[in-house]
Chain A
Amino acid sequence: MRSMVFDDRELARRFPAGDETIVRAVYERYGRAVHTVAYSIVHDATTAADVVQSTFLNAWRASARFDPDRELGPWLYSIARRQAIDTLRREGRSTPAEPETLDRAESPASLEQTWEAWQVRLAVDQLADDEREVVRLSWFAGLSHPEIAEQLGVPVGTVKSRSHRAHRRLASLLAHVVANQTGDKDVQGTDSAAERARGEHL
Chain B
Amino acid sequence: MSDHETPEGGLGGPADAADDPATAAVMRTIAPALRDPALWAEPPASLADSIVAAIAAERDASPPAPSDSPLAPVVPLAPAAPVDLPPAAGTDELAQARVRREERRRRPVLWAALASAAAVLAIAVGFVAMRGEDEDPAEFAMAGTDLALEASASGDINELDAGVAIKLDVEGLPPAPEGQYYAGWVRSADGQLVGIGSFHMRGGDSTVTLWSGVPLAQYPTITVTIQTEGAGEASSGQVVMRGSLED
Interface residues of A (CB under 8 A from B): 13-14, 16-21, 23-24, 27-28, 31-32, 35-37, 39-40, 43, 45, 48-50, 52-54, 56-58, 60-68, 83, 86-87, 90-91, 94, 113, 116-117, 120-121, 124, 135-136, 138-140, 142-146, 156, 160, 163-164, 167-168, 170-171, 174-175, 177-178, 181
Contacts and interface: CB of A to CB of B under 8 A. Distances in A.
How big is chain B's contact interface, by range? 35 or more
A118 to B, nearest CB: 9
Nearest to B41: A39
Given A24-B48, A56-B55, A167 B17 contact: yes
A64 B72 contact: yes
Of A50, A83, A163, A167, chain B has the most CB atoms within 10 Å of the CB of A167
B46 to A, nearest CB: 9
Contacts of A164: 16, 19
Contacts of A17: 59, 63, 65, 75-77, 79
A177 to B, nearest CB: 6
B64 A64 contact: yes
Contacts of B66: 64
B119 to A, nearest CB: 42
A167 B14 contact: yes
A142 B26 contact: no
Of A35, A61, A86, chain B has the most CB atoms within 10 Å of the CB of A61
Contacts of B16: 160, 163-164, 167
Of B27, B38, B41, B236, chain A has the most CB atoms within 10 Å of the CB of B38
A171 B37 contact: no
By DSSP majority rule, is chain B's interface helix, strand, loop, or mixed?
loop
Contacts of B114: none
Interface of B: 3-8, 13-14, 16-17, 19, 22-23, 25-27, 29-31, 33-44, 47-48, 50-52, 54-56, 58-59, 63-66, 69, 71-73, 75-77, 79, 82, 85, 190-193, 230-237
A138 B235 contact: no
B79 A177 contact: no
Nearest to B26: A171
Among all A-B residue pairs, the 7 with the closest Cβ atoms: A18-B59, A40-B38, A139-B34, A61-B191, A171-B23, A16-B65, A64-B65
Contacts of B59: 17-18, 60
10 contacts: A16-B65, A17-B63, A39-B38, A57-B54, A57-B237, A64-B191, A65-B69, A91-B232, A121-B39, A177-B30
A138 B27 CA distance: 12
Contact of B27 (A62, A94, A167): A167
Given A39-B37, A120-B34, A167 B13 contact: yes
B73 to A, nearest CB: 6
B26 A175 contact: yes
A142 B6 CA distance: 6
A87 B231 CA distance: 9
Contacts of A168: 23
A3 B72 CA distance: 25
A160 B13 CA distance: 13
Given A49-B44, A56-B55, A177-B30, A138 B14 contact: yes
A57 B72 contact: no
Contacts of B22: 171, 175
A52 B64 CA distance: 19
Contacts of B34: 120, 135, 139-140
Contacts of B8: 142
A68 to B, nearest CB: 7
A112 B146 CA distance: 42
B48 A27 contact: yes
Contacts of B55: 18, 23, 56-57, 60
